Structures are given as structure tokens and as C-alpha cells.
A and B are shown apart, each in its own frame.
Chain A
Amino acid sequence: MTYILKPKLRHPALPVNKLGFTHRDYEGTVSTLCAGCGHDSISSAIIQACFELAIEPHRVAKLSGIGCSSKTPTYFLGQSHGFNSVHGRMPSVLTGANMANKDLIYMGVSGDGDTASIGLGQFVHCVRRGVNMVYICENNGVYGLTKGQFSATADRGSKSKGGASNMDTALDLASMALLVGASFVGRSFSGDKEQMVPLIMAAIRHPGPCFIDIVSPCVAFNNHAGSTKAYDFVRAHNEAVNRLDIMEPRDPITVEYAPGTTEEAALHDGSTLRLAKLDANYDPNDRIMAMAYLQATAARGELVTGLIYMDKTATDLHANLNTVDAPLNTLVEKDLCPGNKALEAFNASHR
């Protein structure tokens, strides 16, 4: 944890993106999390993803629940409105915010206590409702702020810092997101920024409910031998199924892959998502297969990461609700109020 304020000065040679923003324009205040916390790496990946996509920072709304992970939205995108809501209830607040204004990018940041325990219902229903959002769960298997209790994503048999064994079955949030209709599901590891950044970028560009489960070790309470969410354990069991690249329309192709091992998908803003298949048999467009694959690999003790699933035809809640193109929060009296004449007709029909 650091108390040093960020200097306002910036190096004149800092690289800028196509909107002229530097990396610094996407930062927030200094993190108050523990040094080495995986969550800070995720914040950094979010900053990088937004910088790379040249998103106007103020067009993002960042929402969270309660917990260590939910504190992080203060540490990125300082020019965005943020909402640190109620424990486990970020999904409903995000849903309502999205209903009010469909034009912003909604980023929901949550943790495993927030998402898998108190907020499991809201997580599931928000996803199944098709809210266009990037929902990131910073998953460390442990309650950090209350000092080390198991969370619902802790694997059965894993050990707490004090040596107790968790005898409850773990909830796998990526599987659950698939089951309830997420149109984009990714999983990553906070120690792998190269994998996180393009995943987050692709999710931002995806017009539907996106869920990314990011295993993010807790250095204070869950980074010991016997934990399946510790840095060493995750590094040893991480099995990436693919690598993503987001290519802007005129980007030169810098990485070459052997023929037949890549797949490209056009994103709706004109950029292209290129997927390098590390497991040649894995097809991230097949939801049923993805669900089976997650179960099979989990049974082998592997942690599958990468793009788990993407529905290229995804739509969202606003499409389902058939809302007008203008954000609802911009409508005025003449759009909304039927007026006295309509009321007279109403009166007449009630006599």
C-alpha cells in the first residue's frame, strides 16, 4: 500500500493513442490495496485496454459492489463516473444505469465474495437478461477485507492460511456465465497481462453480456501452499486455449501463426479479433462444447484460460426491450408526456 500521490507532471514523450490520450489519462488514484495484489494488475490491464481502444474515458461508467475488488474502480479511469454500490448488488445497479443510457460502456468490477456468494442471484439474472456490459470478477477464492475466510469459489480441499480445509464445492463462475446466457465468456490470470488486455478489449467491443473470470491471487490471505488460487499454483496449472489479438482496421500483422491455427472475427466497430488457437480442437463459438470442456479440464485440475466462448450474433437487453435509439435519460416532456387531451380520453373511458 502506498500513500504517495501521483505527480501531475507527465513525460512529454509519452505515447498517445489516436484520440491523443496518454496512458495517464486512463489512470485513477493510487491504489490502496496490498503491494503485489493481483487486482492492481487487472486495473492496469483495464487501463491498457481502454488506451489501446482509444476509448474516451468519460464514456465509461464503472460500477462495483463491496470488497477489495470493488474498491479498484477508483484506481482506473479517473475521468469516468464510478459507483461503488452495495455488497453483491452491482449487477442490478449496472442494469438500471444501462437502461437509462445505452450509449455508455458499462464496466462492472466485482469479486468472488460479491459475485459468487451474496450476489450470485444478481450476477445470474443480470447475465441472463442480456445487459451489455463487461463484468469482471477478480477471483481470489478468499474474503480479503474481513481477513481470510473461504469464498464460494475456493476449491474443495484447498487450504486456508490457517490450515483449515474447505469442504464445500467450488462454484465455477465461467461455467455459470455460460449456462445462463453470457454471449462472451473469458477466463484469465492476473499474472498474465498479455492475455488479459486483448480479452478485455474484445469484451468492450462485444455488444452483449460479457463475463471475464480473472484469477487474482490475494497476497495477504491466499497465496500459500495448499491454495489453488496462489500465484505458484495458477502458473503451474494454467492452460491457455487460445491467444487473442485485436487488430484495428489498418494495423499491420506483426505476429505470424501457422495456417489453420488462427480464426478471425470482425467486430462491430470495424476492428478484427484474431484468435490464435493453442488447442487446435477448441472452438470458442460452440457453447455446449465450451461447457463440457470446462468441466473436463477442471476434473483434471487444469485452469483453462483464454476466450472460452463468444456468440458472434449477440444482442442485448435494449434490443429485447425494443428501446428507442436515443438514451432514455435524454428524452423530454414532448417524448414522454401524453398531455391533457389523452387524459380526457382516459377520463371518458372511465365513466
Chain B
Amino acid sequence: MSASIRAINDFVVKFANVNGSGSASANEMFARSLLRMGVPVASRNIFPSNIQGLPTWYEVRVSGQGWLGRRGGVDLMVAMNPQTWDKDVASVDPGGYLFYDSSRPIPQSKFRGDINVIRMPLTEICNAAYSDPRQRQLFKNIIYIGALTELLGIDIAVLETLIGEQYKSKQALIAPNHQALHMGHDYARDNLSGQCGLRVEKSDAVRDRIFVNGNEAAALGCVYGGATVAAWYPITPSTSVAESFAKHCKKYRVDPVTGKNRFAIIQAEDEISAIGAVVGAGWNGARAFTATSGPGISLMQEFLGLAYFADIPIVLIDVQRGGPSTGMPTRTQQADLVLAAYASHGDTKHVMLFPQDPKELFEFAAQAFDLAERLQTPIFVMEDLDIGMNEWLCEPFTWNDERKYDRGKIMTAEDLDAGKSFGRYLDVDGDAIPYRTLPGVHPSKGAYFTRGSSHDKMAKYTEEGDAYQEVMQRLLRKFETAKSYVPVPVIKQAKEKTRFGAIYFGSTAPAMNEAMAALEEQGLYLDTLRIRAFPFADLVTDFINQHDQIFLVEQNRDAQMRMLLVNECGIDPARFISVLNYDGTPITARFINQAIAERMTMKSREAAE
């Protein structure tokens, strides 16, 4: 038997449940109770593409220090699903704890000798207290949460408050839930005392941070960014972006006098139609977006080429999931990079933004509309299931009320009357961004024909090679212009000078932060750069050139960011060492730490020899 793990405010609890058993809301309440005690948590749902019956897990990282990525490993397993018992038992760290429903006997061979077992006859307790089968199932979840409050030292009053808030509109449910909570708590107090070495202590480390999921943040960003038209098709894990947009529009965008809507949302018949409507609305001067995932982006390719070639502003929120094909709809990846970067046949390049958490996602989603109209091109906001569908602890959202939307270069009727000459694809200002007019602008000036067929700078159909090339070259220059508008990378210098660098992006950030701190403790120093946008700022190339070796941490199989960096920045592929996690679960700090430590030690040894 390994020494029992003893930890205060620094451990991982994992709940193994059956999908559809009502465990999700109980488990989330558990996570929230720690936040209310001022202890930072990061919670992640690992759920199946299923409504009822398949295995689902909920992992809660408790970190007084504020590490919000997945750490890796499990200190306390709440094993409520017999289907996954073996795997769940195997995943507990030596010296960790296994809490399970001991109502039915489980053979000794199914346990491990190096972990602590906490037995609670949950089904028996439930069956004795409740006769209704649904109640038995639902309250079982609350009973084990009650037991955990006692085992971990969570203030039960906090959970009582949370239950009260949850059932604000169903008062009748509060008392029975409180009762179940206490049933679990009292059993643990009387029978399980001293069996768990993990403790929660009150802290003030949460500060004023908020607990929010990325899809809601993205939707709110679209509201704040002035989106009026949304067209979408249901697809996991992006559906809640559109649903949340509708929810917030109903709250913030209904004219108080007339009761009419300052927004229009359609659920399209497929992703092709969704992006088509967004292209039509963007062409016609509305801020428009769609939310989708990889399979949707695959279907939208033809329209993306049109929007690129015809300079039409649109925004896409891509909530990436495991691919290819249907892939893993309920698992996370960063595997749409190449698909989005060069979407469509022919020569195209598209702008992408990589938010690290819901806070940045809120900001980037709003900013995407400014970028789309400024650059007159599609903007991809590349989030993923990890950010999108999990509640993240992040800084509160803020908005500057003085902020004006950047509507880009739109020529008005007054401009046209004042004698400004209009040619749709003329590069008047030398930044390769042309002026556009909106349909209906003027009785006799400013009309033009938008087309995906080859056109000259006056928007006229042409099959002349030179005229076509002129337009294609301008688009390339415009992509260069985009560099000066998109968010710049975030660079952190190591405490000591180092020839090693690490590059990462998106939802990898929190695990990366923890891994870097751990590596530093081992005396391994790396400068880091977090990419926030494509096209890459020149700073990215500089950073790579300043280091002999760059660890490139990604959540896909083929090192897609590496492909883009090699291709776009002309970098020798040998400079990169890829650290790749693509099993569908969010990358862990331990995984990054281990991969980089091994390689750095090896490289240092090679250098020494």
C-alpha cells in the first residue's frame, strides 16, 4: 500500500456516472460549492454522444494555486458506473481513494491494494428512504454529494444555498434535496470518518472570477459585437452557441416599446444553407455569423471560397471536436486548423482567432465582427469543445461603453454624391482593402455585381489572366494587412536565458501554464509564445528564430499548427518538436511536463556530448 495521498485544496476528483441519470447537475453543484468556498476549480465533462445509458465522467480539478487545466491522474474516484469499473479503478493514483456504492458485493479481485476504498451502501440507503424509482436515482446523486461534503470538509451550508438557488422556481424540491444531502452527510460522519486524506479549506483565491462555459461566452460576444443575423444547423458541440445567442438576444435585443426583435435567427436545413444566409446577410450589410463544428466547416467550403474571393464579411464560430468524419462528436480536439486556414478549392487563406478561455472567447467573438467588416473576409473563431461545453473559471467580462463598431470601408450615398469614384475591388488606400457599397444605396451610383466567377477590379466578369491575377494578388496583400489588425501573440520569457521555446494556443493554455511552472521547478527553462491569430504576426517568426528548439503543443495528430508555421513563415521543420495530444480528452499538465522534460533532458545531454 502506497502512502495515502494527503492534500489540501490541491487534488482531482473524478465522478464516473451513467449518462441521463441526473448526475450532471449534482456534480456541477459539487464544483460550485468549492468555488463558493473561494477555492478555484476546473471542471470537465467527458460525455458520450448519447442521451441515456452510456458512460459519462465529470472531472473536478481543485487547485488553491489556481491551475485550471487538467492535471492528469485522479485522487478520488467516485465510481458510480459498474460498466466502467475496471477502467475507473485503474485510473486512480497510488495512495488515492475509491468511493463506491457498496450495496452489492464486488469481488475482491476487482479492487487494487494500493488505493484506499471508501464504501457507502448508497442504493440501500436510497431504497430505504424512497419508493419512487426516479427519486431513488436522482437523490442517490445528492446523497453521495452529501457524503463528499463530510469526507472533504466542504461547508454543507454552501450546498444548501446552491440547492436553494437551483430550485428557485421549484420550491417544493428544496426540502427533499436538503434532506438527501444531510442523509449522505450524516452517514459519512457516522461511518466514514477519517477515511479520506483530501481536504477543502476556505480560501480567497477565486476573487471576482466567473464560472462560465465558452459557448455562452461566444454567444454573448456576438450580441455585444452587434451580430443581427445568425443562421445555424444543430451540431455538437456548437449547438449551445446558437441557443445561447437566442437566449441573450431575447434578454437584451427586444425593443422595449414595440416588443419587436433587433435580431433574426434561422435554424437552417443544413450547414450549407446556414453559411449561405450568413454570406447573403454580410453582403447586405448586417453583422452575421454561424456556429458550427468541423463537419459543418467541411460542408461550407464552397461558400467560404466565395466569401474570400468576393470580399464578403462573415464570422464563423468553430467549436472543434474530434475528427475526421463524424469522429468523436463529444470529445475535444484542435484539428480543424488546416481545414479552416485554406478552406475551399483554389488559392485561399482565412483569418483565424484562437481564444484561450471563455473570457478571451467573449472578446474575440465581438472583435471578429470588426475584423470581418474591416478586412471584408471570413473570420474563424477557433474554439473547441473543452472551452465551449465546460464551465471555466475566468476573469469577469468587461466592455468599454465608448467602444464603436468598426464597420470598415463602406461608401455611402453621401460619399457617392460627393463625387467619390467607386470600383468594388480597387485598392484605393494601398492596404488592399477595397470599398464596398450596400445594396440599395443610391439611385444611379455604386451598384455592382458580386460574383464568385473571375472578376476584374471593377467587379466585371473577366477571363483575362492579368485582370484575374491582379485581384488574386490584392487578396494576398490583404491577408498581409490582416496581420496588423488581429490579436498579437502573448510571449513570456523564462527566468533564465534559454535556447528552448514553446508555442501553444487555444484551450491548451491552462495546462501549459501549470506544466511550465512544474518544468521551472525542475530547472528546465522555456520561453513561451501563445498564438492568438492566423495570419501569424512577424513576432512569431522572430520568436522561433530566437530559439534553437521549439516545442509545439497541439491537440491534433498531424501537428497542424506546425504545418501552418512551416508553410507561412518559411521555417525549417526540424526546429519543431511536436507535443501532441489527440485522444479526445483535454491535454493535461502532466502530459506536457513529461513530454518536454524528457526531450529537453535528452537534447541537453546530446548537446553536452
Contacts and interface: CB of A to CB of B under 8 A. Distances in A.
A329 B284 contact: yes
B276 A92 contact: yes
Contacts of A101: 284-286, 438-440
Given A81-B448, A96-B278, A324-B262, A340 B273 contact: no
B443 A86 contact: no
Contacts of B282: 96, 100
Interface stretch (B10-18, B392-400, B499-507): B392-400
A344 B399 CA distance: 9
B447 interface: yes
A84 B452 CA distance: 7
B277 to A, nearest CB: 3
A93 B279 contact: yes
A22 to B, nearest CB: 13
Nearest to B305: A86
Contact of A97 (B224, B269, B283, B453): B283
Contact of A95 (B210, B280, B303, B397): B280
A141 B258 CA distance: 48
A346 B279 CA distance: 31
A339 B277 contact: no
B266 interface: yes
B396 A347 contact: yes
A322 interface: yes
Contact of A324 (B212, B260, B438): B260
B270 interface: yes
A63 B280 contact: yes
B277 A99 contact: yes
Interface stretch (A72-80, A228-236, A250-258, A277-285): A72-80
Interface residues of A, number: 60
B261 A340 contact: no
Interface stretch (A52-60, A146-154, A160-168, A301-309): A52-60
Interface stretch (A2-10, A121-129, A208-216): A121-129
A59 B265 CA distance: 24
A157 interface: no
A342 B404 CA distance: 17
Contact of A85 (B276, B396, B438): B276
B450 A81 contact: yes
Contacts of B426: none
A340 B306 CA distance: 36
B405 interface: yes
Given A58-B444, A84-B452, A340-B400, A121 B279 contact: no
A94 B306 CA distance: 15
B397 A346 contact: yes
A79 B443 contact: yes
Contacts of A335: 262
A296 B140 CA distance: 65
Nearest to A92: B276
B92 to A, nearest CB: 32
A78 B397 contact: no
B114 interface: no
B252 interface: yes
Interface string A102-113: 011000000000
A87 B285 CA distance: 23
A339 B440 contact: no
B269 A125 contact: yes
A333 interface: yes
B224 A338 contact: yes
A321 interface: yes
B494 interface: no
Given A61-B284, A89-B273, A336-B228, A81 B279 contact: no
A324 B255 contact: yes
Nearest to B226: A336
Contacts of B441: 58
Given A324-B260, A328-B286, A82 B450 contact: yes
B276 A86 contact: yes
B279 A85 contact: yes
Given A122-B273, A329-B284, A347-B210, A61 B439 contact: yes
A69 to B, nearest CB: 15
A81 B264 contact: no
A297 interface: no
A13 interface: no
A89 B286 contact: no
Contacts of A86: 276, 302-303, 306, 452
A318 interface: yes
A299 interface: no
A339 B401 CA distance: 6
Contacts, number: 226
Contacts of B43: none
B223 interface: yes
A96 B223 CA distance: 18
A100 B443 contact: no
A1 interface: no
A322 B35 CA distance: 40
Contacts of A344: 396
Given A81-B439, A86-B302, A322 B261 contact: yes
B306 A85 contact: yes
Contacts of B449: 73-74, 81-84
A58 B277 contact: no
A346 B437 CA distance: 37
Contacts of B189: none
B211 to A, nearest CB: 6
Nearest to B358: A350
B220 interface: yes
Interface in A37-73: 56-59, 61, 63, 73
B272 interface: yes
A307 to B, nearest CB: 28
A121 B268 CA distance: 11
A100 B208 contact: no
Given A97-B439, A101-B284, A346-B397, A121 B258 contact: no
A351 interface: yes
B134 interface: no
A79 B447 contact: yes
A14 interface: no
A17 interface: no
Contacts of B398: 340, 343
Contacts of A74: 449, 461
Given A83-B450, A121-B273, A323-B264, A340 B280 contact: no
A99 B286 contact: yes
Contacts of B432: none
B276 A95 contact: yes
A337 B220 CA distance: 10
A350 B211 contact: yes
A269 interface: no
Contacts of B448: 81-82
Contacts of B453: 84
B443 A58 contact: yes
Contact of B405 (A79, A93, A104, A333): A333
19 contacts: A57-B443, A58-B441, A58-B442, A59-B440, A81-B448, A84-B450, A92-B273, A93-B277, A94-B280, A96-B231, A96-B278, A97-B281, A99-B229, A99-B277, A100-B281, A333-B404, A337-B223, A340-B400, A350-B210
Interface of A: 56-59, 61, 63, 73-74, 78-86, 89, 91-101, 103-104, 121-122, 125, 129, 317-318, 321-325, 328-329, 331-333, 335-340, 342-344, 346-347, 350-351
Given A99-B286, A339-B401, A343-B396, 9 more contacts: A58-B443, A85-B276, A95-B276, A100-B286, A121-B269, A322-B261, A325-B258, A328-B229, A336-B253
Query: Which 8 pairs across A and B sit closest by C-beta, in order of nearness?
Result: A92-B276, A96-B280, A96-B277, A100-B286, A81-B439, A329-B285, A93-B280, A100-B284
